[in-house]
Amino acid sequence: MKVNGVDYRTIWMEQTSVFMIEQNLLPFQFKIFEATDYRQSCMAIKTMIVRGAGAIGAAAGFAMAQAFLQAEKEEAPDFLLRAKTEIEATRPTARNLFYAVERVFAAGQISAENAVAEAQWIANKDADDSQAIGDFGMQLIANNARILTHCNAGWLAFVDYGTALSPIYKAHQAGKSIFVWADETRPRSQGARLTAWELLNENIPHKIVPDNAGAYLMQKGLVDIIITGADRIAANGDAANKIGTLEKAIVAKHYGIPFYIAAPCSTFDLNCKNGGDIIIEERDQAEVLFQTGPDAEGGLRTIRVANPESEALNPAFDVTPANLISGIITEKGIIKANVDAIRNFISPDS
């Protein structure tokens, strides 16, 4: 995608360094972060310099490749196993992270160069898959459609194009008149800060709405379709996504509004029987209690926006049951969210 007329991927690797857009600074500042070793890449994943299922997967794959490059100078025989464990511990919910680490670790048994090549392949496939998801998903979007999305599953969440936003981009490029409701998505406000920034860059009409305005919009007949991403999809079709997604799916079911998940096959976890087996990450309560924005001098300032003596609970994801999902948009086509469809469609090594 383009920023100020220049094409960028969300994340890429050159030599031994991994470069990524510093998402914590957006939309107020656009900067590139350089991770020179796998531990810095781990830090970037943990602190959400890079975030979103596909981008996390690419970052984890590159981090594993960096570890193989570093291992050539390390004497400890268990260095790579420690690195693998550290990378996998950065974010527990996103399936793409484990998918990438497993593939790069296996490839690295041949050579460090092979590990790097596998990581690059994963990143390239993520970008290609996202475009394919857009091609299939745009067929669901009618002219003059009003689309609601939650969190950010766009270009910034993947290597390019994204998942939930990819059908929107493709529909817009095809000349369809569309409008997007972008949930603000507290506590980190990815919808208000990232999705809105992406849509503005692509000149797509949109408005930011409070997370709890979704039911109102649907009740008023102002939403035609909902498309969100997913961080892990169980074998039965239950899908984990940013906290608040479940509420949208429940209300959509009540009002008869199609609710779709957009995700590549690498997001499916066939070893996870249902949503109850998905580990839900709980993040620091500071994300709920504080907000960051620009100050008068153009820098960024963090302030507390909650009662000073109160604590907060901050689950990062919830799980939407398969029976609330109209379909799952993948790079291979649109499938039903049920065991039989997934078993017939998704191979174990997809």
Catalytic hit among 126, 183, 224, 231: 231
The answer to whether 218 touches 251, Cβ cutoff 8 Å, is: yes
Exposure string for 297-332, b = 16+ CB within 10 A, e = fewer: eeeeeeeeeeeeeeeeebebbbbbbbebbbbbbbbe
Task: At 237, list the tokens.
Answer: 């079709």
Nearest residue to 94 via CA among 145, 130, 53: 53
Return the closest-CA partner of residue 199 out of 271, 274, 253, 149: 149
Cβ(129)–Cβ(208) under 8 Å?
Answer: no
Show the tokens assigned to 83: 């690195």
- H helical segments located in the chain: 38-46, 53-71, 79-88, 95-107, 112-137, 166-173, 190, 196-201, 214-219, 245-255, 286-289, 339-345
Measuring CA to CA, which residue among 133, 128, 184, 113 is closest to residue 160?
128
Distance of CA 64 to the CA centre of its chain: 19
Residue 135 appears among annotated catalytic residues: no
Name the packing angle between helices 53-71 and 95-107 (round to 10°): 30
282: which DSSP letter?
A: B
Q: Which structure tokens are listed for 99?
A: 């998918």
φ, ψ for residue 188, nearest 5 deg: -95, 0
Cis before 348 (ω within 30): no
Q: Is 102 exposed, middle or buried (0-12, 13-18, 19+ CB in 10 A)?
A: middle
Instruction: Give catalytic residues, as residue numbers.
Output: 231
